[in-house]
Structure 1
Amino acid sequence: MVFCGRVNPTTGALDWVEEDEDYDYHQEIARSSYADMLHDKDRNEKYYQGIRAAVKRVKERGEEAIVLDIGTGTGLLSMMAVTAGADYCYAIEVFTPMAEAAIQIVKANGFGDKIKVINKHSKEVTLGPDGDMMQRANILITELFDTELIGEGALPSYEHAQQNLMQERWEAVPHRATVYAQVVESHRLWSMNKLLPINLDHGLIKPPLELQTCPGAPSVCDVQLSQLSTDDFNTLSDIMVIFRVDFSQQVSSTTVSHPVNFTSNANGEAQVVLSWWDIDMDPEGTINCTMKPGWLYSDDHSVPWRDHWMQCVYFLPEERKVTLGEELCLTAHQDDYCVWYTLMKPGAEDSSPVSDERPICHCGAHIIWNRTRFGELNDQGRLKKYKEAMRKVLKPSSVCMCISDGSLLPLLAHTMGAAQVFTVESSSMSQQVMQKLLQTNHLKGAIPVLQKSPEKITLPWHNLYFWYSRSALSDNLVEGCTVFPMSATLYVLAVEFKDLWRIRSPCGICEGFDVSIMDAMIKKSLDFRESQEAEPHALWEYPCRALSQPVKVMTFDFRKTIPVNDVKSEGSVSLVRSGRCHGVVLWMEYQLTEDISVSTGLLEVSNEKGYCQWYPHSKQGVFFLNSVLELGPSSTQTYSSVTYQLTFSPKLGDIEMNFLPNP
């Protein structure tokens, strides 16, 4: 046995937990997303077509087809290559559990004599009689891409392989990649990156100038853009080709900029760059796999679903007013792992001292707040409920202590007439951001800022941090004081997902190859650790149908301190609609007062078919059932409900759960 340090998901404290010696191995397998890629039929078919075409081109030149497959995963692309006529394939996989799985899968499908799986990073692979590869390859197959295309280190890997492991002339699958972008104005997306001014009854909460001019977090925001409505943004440019990468030529990982001049097609505030890419599997571009969002497809064309490749949202460093017909230059700056954008007048980028620098947060807010938190702070509907609730509980004599972590509630309580307001921040960075907010709004000194540690942010769908902090401060609270929010209720809902089920669904046979060994390994690892855990997902991006009514399963009374003993809850969720039940969604609803609450999950079920609308500024918990429940008149199964067993451990700060179908 080994001891693993694990951050308590609710209290933030570091707990030492005894685990099996294979814990890390099973964690890596369980959290891999290979099922999603294997279920991506469009991707698989396009790769197969491209590989067949590449092998054919090499054979027509009278050469042996020697394949180098970097990032082979399950070995699927290598097996495709041998089936297409390749003479030999070197399959590189640095992730040890996957390399071991690939070896077994390759042997099980009868390709052990033509595919060599090498468990190394491609930069460590050696050539020669005593090396990993006997000879250089002339076909380069890769699947090293992420939502941003290059974020997984694709360019350095290509650069090294082409220089050291390939023949002078090679074929590449994919053959090339093209990155597209469009400049838009979007209040919804911009509110995920900047704190916007907030109107109150007696004034305005203004964000610090430093926050408004901060370029923000350097990482891309990957989103299922297909789930955005076209009403959520106003296009200010046409869709533009930003840059291309030709993988049949020598690739460079050197930092480079790609300026593209364009004429704006509308008036507005340029705030956001939407971006995606496609890959041509052949030189002619006849075999194309695209990541474009669903609203760019024609009505008669089905939209391929994939979660391993989504679309990109890039926030410009500052919003910029543009007018119809204005000449502008959008520049993509690209290093070996990252892309970022600037928008200027044509030629101005040459004189800019910062345009080539990767954006880094200098205000602190983008470090303590993630994008869902920005959206939550800017949510006017949620703020309205908080104001209504605070009017019910605040008195001119009220002394308020806000357990804040960057919340706007201290400012709200002060402007609504509380006699004294204190705010407790859990980190020095959060304390600094709050001080900037107070200074900007001329409240420095009016609201004392206290720092309390070590509590930190918690899992996104069952945030009980407030309860732990309130309990820790109980000695500072007068008898009968108002606790706000007063409680939280955990809800569950049985659902049918349109597509999200694929990330946990077994593949068995994929494009004619048996990959069931991978299914067995993932299942074993999930059973080992994760069978009693829910995964956080932003469900506004993943359509689903409700197959039950929402059910209250556990309530946490914040007016009382945290209990000493475990809290248990058992019951069942009745299934009221036909469909395919993939799992159960969990979320919290916070009771501010007796009659006012805010939800972090289900907002409404839209019609008789059960389509769900989810709160977009929080993630929800998803518990996938071990097997899909087929419900309805034509089904041979007769499940009527899903039973649940939940245990909240105050010591661990987590909820252990299990859901089982009930005939």
Structure 2
Amino acid sequence: MSSLFSLLLPKTFISFRCHSVTRLRSSVAARTMSSQSSQRVFQLRQDPLTGNSEWIIIEDNDQPGTSTDGLLATTSYLDMLNDSRRNRAYRLAIEKTITEPCHVLDIGAGTGLLSMMAVRAMRGEEEESGDSKGMVTACESYLPMVKLMRKVLHKNGMTKNINLINKRSDELKVGSDIASRADVLVSEILDSELLGEGLIPSLQHAHDMLLVDNPKTVPYRATTYCQLVESRFLCNMNDLRNSEAKTSDGVRLVPPGLESLFGIKSQQYSMHVDAIEKDIKLLSEPVKIFEFDFWKRPESNGELDVHIEAITAGSVHAIISWWVLQLDSEGTIFYSTAPRWIDSNFEIGVRDWCDHWKQCVWFTPGAGVSISKGEKVHLHAAHTCTNILYNLKKTQSLTHETTHSPLSTGDLHLTLPPERVAIYGDSIYRQSLFEATRKALQGKSYPQCLVIDDSLLLPLMALHISNRSRVLSLSPGLQENAARYFEAIADSNDFSKDRFEYFREGKANLAKAYPSKIDLLIGEPYYSGLENGLPWQNLRFWKDRTLLDSVLSEDAVVMPYKGVLRGCAMYLPDLWKSRCCLGNVEGFDHALVNTTLGGCGDLPSGKDSPCLPFFIGQCGETKKLSKEFTVMEFDFSKRITGPCSGEVQIEFIKPGVCHGIALWMDWVMDEENSTVISTGPDEKYWKQGVKLLGKPVTVRVKGPSSSIGIQASLDLSSNSELIITHTIS
């Protein structure tokens, strides 16, 4: 089954050639071609600063110019290989399951770790080398990873007994790709929800076409669990209607009666819930939901009804879920993704923070479901081939159901990420935008306002503040859906539909249609689709503003007025450990993958770790060690004329070990700097960028100490990436 993904640094890469969704940080499309000499992948590269795309070619060889370094640097493979608890559990289960030479199938082989474990298990612990009658078939669909795996197998002397095939498992055919059906299946095609990487379709095809009857499998079984919780933090990510009812700006993104127009997708969202444990109130005991046996063919769909008794009174804002792997048939080796408040005595080894598997959150509708202690609620769970879905009801009535729209809005349902919903419900954020917009509109009689990003708040605020204003919106990500949405909520927000226009012709034709007529060019900035990117990718606003310079009137106001790249030195031991360079992984040398997978630590001279997007507040143990500092400033009142650069020497305020630099954007909304919107680590619904150092640095406040300097450069005029370097003295 094809999986979708994209890589967001410095470009977005798109391809259909992978089994793993969560290891590659997003989603997408590509084309493949083959010849007698090589396999090639046409992969779509998208520049988030412009929205433009181009096809690049990945060759199945190592000729000059075809290096895959950088394609895998923003994936979660490194984090997964640094998960010693996972690695040890798989090793023990494989050694226990594979006790004699046989045919082993490894689906989604990655770097080949499980395949090599299987070969070693067949050779026997006492046999140092020599031939084995066993064979491992390893299939990996993503070509850059196949190229890396070949190098790992060669380095570890494992090429002879591992048949590596660059295909999806459902493309394999017995008799052509493999000689016979496999006796044992080893796999790790799991995401945080369990099913999202195509586990069920992959198992179905394997049992139908690739495995013997009653095969051995590692893992043996997976079981999902869930728990009802109350959490204001989580409620804010879903219940915008009640959040904005408490605001005083008069703007309503979710007007009463039109709730069906706007919301988040009905799906589970992966999240480190341990990070918000203090904001979580447990309303039930953990409940077992679905069980999936790897050793037999799974069903495509399943349903379950269960009555859950409340252990305390509260409002069910969300359902938190996780899974437990039983890796061996006897039930002695387990791995769990449960939150830390769950008893974890069955787990192997010390539990470390990791990012490749998290818990999942399913939001209940509206303000949640109110329950009393001892009251039972009815939970209906269902799974498809790729998702697990929940529906929670009180047995008496569906008091939490939202009102359906009385208007004919067709199938329109504008969906945003939960974090964006929380931001739009934040009264401080809204007040800042409102005041900045009001100030920008002062003195303008019949202002023409142009919103060049995907903001939903700013068009409504401009229309609300000045009843003579007219708003044009480009909505590059939301496009026609934004137009339909604003038309549907016009009456509820007291503006006539002719005062808002979605400009369908694109930026190139805007200058012809509105030469020197725009009085206010604005953005939050926010671009739909860049939520998982790096904060400075929203500098696309400046890029677009430059392209549209000719549409601005002489006294036009640009808002925000300025962007500021800010930073802070951080103690990040958990994040560092998950991204540090590999050496020996369960007895297999993985040092050669470090540069390709974006490791930090012992990198070759001239190589550096990438900047990666993270919610700092969800990165395990963290601590600020320095004052916040400015790296670079970007003046949006002027066009882009050339490269920008900045340099700063970090001033430490706390002793400790510095693992990296957190980076984010502050948006200065006006020329007087009276309104500044920060997206820093203290703002828990925003993602920051993290630049991990070459090695951790011990710093002191008093006495001699290491000094860290940061240099940054960015040339938006040539679409270059942001380059961050550091020096330690």
Distance 1:511 1:132 in 2: 29
Distance 1:397 1:21 in 2: 58
| CA distance 1:89–1:375, change in 2 (3 Å) | farther
- Correspondence for 1:567: 644
| CA distance 1:506–1:468, change in 2 (3 Å) | closer
Q: Select which of 711, 716, 729 maps to 1:644.
A: 711
Distance 1:27 1:520 in 2: 8
| CA distance 1:433–1:234, change in 2 (3 Å) | farther
Which amino acid in 2 is paired with 1:244? Answer: E
Which amino acid in 2 is paired with 1:108? Answer: K
- Correspondence for 2:199: 154
Q: Could you tell me whether the CA contact under 8 Å between 1:534 and 1:624 is conserved in 2?
A: yes
Which amino acid in 1 is paired with 2:325? Answer: I
Cα deviation, residue 177, structure 1: 0.4
| 1:400-439 paired onto structure 2 within 5 Å | 400=447, 401=449, 403=451, 405-416=454-465, 419-420=468-469, 422-426=471-475, 427-439=479-491
1:329 matched to 2:366: no
- Correspondence for 1:354: none
Q: Select which of 560, 563, 566 maps to 1:491.
A: 566
Cα deviation, residue 77, structure 1: 1.7
Which amino acid in 2 is paired with 1:501? Answer: W
- Correspondence for 1:173: 218
1:624 matched to 2:692: yes
Cα deviation, residue 33, structure 1: 2.5
- Correspondence for 1:372: 419
Which amino acid in 2 is paired with 1:73? Answer: G
Which amino acid in 1 is paired with 2:89? Answer: K
- Correspondence for 2:15: none
TM-score by length of 1: 0.82
| CA distance 1:322–1:597, change in 2 (3 Å) | same
Distance 1:475 1:22 in 2: 40
**Secondary structure of 1:29's partner?**
coil
| 1:439-478 paired onto structure 2 within 5 Å | 439-445=491-497, 447-451=499-503, 454=506, 457=528, 459-462=533-536, 463-471=538-546, 474=549, 477-478=552-553
1:12 matched to 2:51: yes
Give a deviation string over 1:379-414, Cα, whole Å, max 9, x none: 122223334545656547655525263432343345
- Correspondence for 1:356: none
The answer to which of 74-83 and 416-425 deviates more is: 416-425
Cα deviation, residue 331, structure 1: 2.0
Q: Could you tell me whether the CA contact under 8 Å between 2:247 and 2:427 is conserved in 1?
A: no
Give a deviation string over 1:137-189, Cα, whole Å, max 9, x none: 33221111111111111111112222333232322211110101123343422
Distance 1:439 1:316 in 2: 28
Cα deviation, residue 275, structure 1: 0.9
1:53 matched to 2:53: no
| 1:532-571 paired onto structure 2 within 5 Å | 534-542=611-619, 543-560=621-638, 562-571=639-648
Distance 2:221 2:287 in 1: 17
- Correspondence for 2:309: 263
Q: Select which of 68, 90, 102 maps to 2:105.
A: 68
Cα deviation, residue 530, structure 1: 9.8
Cα deviation, residue 516, structure 1: 1.8
- Correspondence for 2:727: 661
Which amino acid in 2 is paired with 1:304? Answer: D
Cα deviation, residue 655, structure 1: 4.7
- Correspondence for 1:358: none
Q: Select which of 215, 224, 242 maps to 2:272.
A: 224
| CA distance 1:476–1:52, change in 2 (3 Å) | closer
- Correspondence for 2:134: 88
| CA distance 1:9–1:65, change in 2 (3 Å) | closer
Which amino acid in 2 is paired with 1:549? Answer: K
How many residue pairs get aligned? The number is: 625
**Secondary structure of 1:536's partner?**
strand
Q: Select which of 316, 331, 340 maps to 2:389.
A: 340
1:195 matched to 2:240: yes
Q: Could you tell me whether the CA contact under 8 Å between 1:396 and 1:419 is conserved in 2?
A: no
Distance 1:311 1:43 in 2: 16
Distance 1:88 1:334 in 2: 37
| 1:389-404 paired onto structure 2 within 5 Å | 389=436, 395=442, 399-400=446-447, 401=449, 403=451
- Correspondence for 1:241: 288
Which amino acid in 1 is paired with 2:290? Answer: F
Q: Select which of 508, 519, 527 maps to 2:594.
A: 519
Give a deviation string over 1:324-357, Cα, whole Å, max 9, x none: 24443222221212222222467999xxxxxxxx
Amino-acid identity (%): 28
Cα deviation, residue 579, structure 1: 4.4
| CA distance 1:267–1:212, change in 2 (3 Å) | farther
| CA distance 1:314–1:564, change in 2 (3 Å) | same
Q: Could you tell me whether the CA contact under 8 Å between 2:239 and 2:366 is conserved in 1?
A: no
Q: Could you tell me whether the CA contact under 8 Å between 2:462 and 2:471 is conserved in 1?
A: no
| CA distance 1:329–1:266, change in 2 (3 Å) | same
**Secondary structure of 2:202's partner?**
helix
Distance 2:307 2:268 in 1: 23
Which amino acid in 1 is paired with 2:76? Answer: S
Q: Could you tell me whether the CA contact under 8 Å between 1:547 and 1:581 is conserved in 2?
A: yes
Q: Could you tell me whether the CA contact under 8 Å between 1:105 and 1:517 is conserved in 2?
A: yes
Which amino acid in 1 is paired with 2:460? Answer: L
Q: Could you tell me whether the CA contact under 8 Å between 2:463 and 2:495 is conserved in 1?
A: no
| CA distance 1:215–1:35, change in 2 (3 Å) | same
1:42 matched to 2:85: yes
Distance 1:346 1:135 in 2: 53
Which amino acid in 2 is paired with 1:620? Answer: Q
Distance 1:70 1:18 in 2: 25
Cα deviation, residue 472, structure 1: 5.2
Give a deviation string over 1:235-272, Cα, whole Å, max 9, x none: 443321111011223323x2222222223445544442
Give a deviation string over 1:609-652, Cα, whole Å, max 9, x none: xxxx4322222222334x2143258xxx9741224131332352
- Correspondence for 2:165: 118
Q: Select which of 9, 32, 36 maps to 2:75.
A: 32
**Secondary structure of 1:261's partner?**
strand
TM-score by length of 2: 0.75
Give a deviation string over 1:198-224, Cα, whole Å, max 9, x none: 444474636144444767425531111
Which amino acid in 2 is paired with 1:505? Answer: C
Which amino acid in 1 is paired with 2:728? Answer: N
| CA distance 1:226–1:471, change in 2 (3 Å) | same
- Correspondence for 2:322: 276
**Secondary structure of 1:229's partner?**
helix
| CA distance 1:115–1:304, change in 2 (3 Å) | same
- Correspondence for 2:580: 505
Which amino acid in 2 is paired with 1:116? Answer: N
Cα deviation, residue 277, structure 1: 0.5
- Correspondence for 1:294: 340
| CA distance 1:29–1:460, change in 2 (3 Å) | closer
Distance 1:523 1:201 in 2: 46
RMSD: 3.9
| CA distance 1:371–1:598, change in 2 (3 Å) | farther
Gaps of 5+ in 2: 1-40, 124-132, 399-409, 508-526
